[in-house]
Structure 1
């Protein structure tokens, strides 16, 4: 194969491999990181102690309980005085071991429900039941002798997590991520190896591949940061944006680590390949054999003058 054609083919293969690197990492993280229920629950478990997350949970659960009380009981004249007690009781509950257990159990239930919805064809919304939390709050209010606490109904209050109208679009995206997460990483490796193999100067090809992988990792880290900014900005209540940011950071921690690992590994390989090609102290390149020494000249014959 002509050297010019080999160079063009090598550059195309390496460029395509480096282009697939960030997409492969993203797809693998989404399809095999977020889709693992145990890993998901373990990732979110520390957030049970995060103050911003606790406040957001307290506000959501407290509002749900007050809405349920309004629907079931005629306590509208006392609503203003009950609300602080309810919210204080919920906030107090979020500092207990029972809350941390409920947090893990709730996250596991939500994750299992979302996965089942993504993998079957039923068109129904994914919901989570607030009844266990309501029962805990009711017990605490009753212990504090709050008026009408015993009359708070503990109903199966389902909060929608994923609306039914969004399921079809999410299913298609999830299936694409599963396929991409399985195939893109090995395809990128095969393309990179092929590009290096057909290159006229393999050392240059290794440097280019490593720098391209590092660039892909940097772009992935930038995309994660931009998406975080957009995600937090979409939260309507300013008080809950900190909680949304904490959840986002916890879920994307592995992806951020993978992106910076790509950057570090790519730069290290590129630097190593470049250093092995630098000229040595005698003008040779490192690793190249030296020139054979010139034979010593024979002594001149004859008598000295």
Structure 2
């Protein structure tokens, strides 16, 4: 397992546990009692460390290389997933995945950003940074959902939209704006969960949900800490201070009423117990979706639009 800088004491303890297990296998020594004692220490350390994470540390957890990504959630929570590709205008964008599926028996459209887990998949999915054709694909999927009265479930995990010259030439900002507009105009339920990073317009493009949830150690912000530090202080070394100032944690955003719910992660982060993470996210989605499915389309649209307009009013008051 990959350990973050602030997890060094935990890494040392888990290293000792691994050494003892190897000794036990080689010499047939029973060290269960010692392993149990060290395991208790690990759990105590995890609890102590994760109870007081700084915003910058939360950003690191949200980007953890072992953290489950969009396709992991799709595999765990959805059945009969049929991916749909292309925007019918330019190309296929692998950074944004989506298609038809069943969520606990309910037919839905699922859309999300995929970062990839290793070098090959990260390059294939462009590290989760979506190009204009990806957002236009999202629009196409939302239109499909509206036409066939299917709920839309979105999984957000991106550092931001792809900032390359080609993306700008093909209308990146227009594609994001149109996707936001399409999401706000849907007459079907839309539930969003930020599972890792929620970066800038690249995230909000598919985050215009009737309900917006965040995992406990995910982040959601107008800009990355590094980007903010580069603009304000002309130095990436100030990223930690920028993270503090941005108020990007799930706890901050719940307080500001930007999101509706925080989904608790297993102790030590979502990557330490994927099955439990998937179960909790799935249960939260099901609970909200059950409520939303009882509402008429016009009401869903009106409430969603009012929800996002209210954020601006709160900021001005």
Whose helix proportion is higher, 1 or 2?
1
TM bin, normalised by shorter chain, reads: under 0.3
Higher RCO, Cα 8 Å, sep 6+: 1
TM-score, normalised by the number of residues in structure 1? 0.27
TM-score, normalised by the number of residues in structure 2? 0.26
Larger radius of gyration: 1
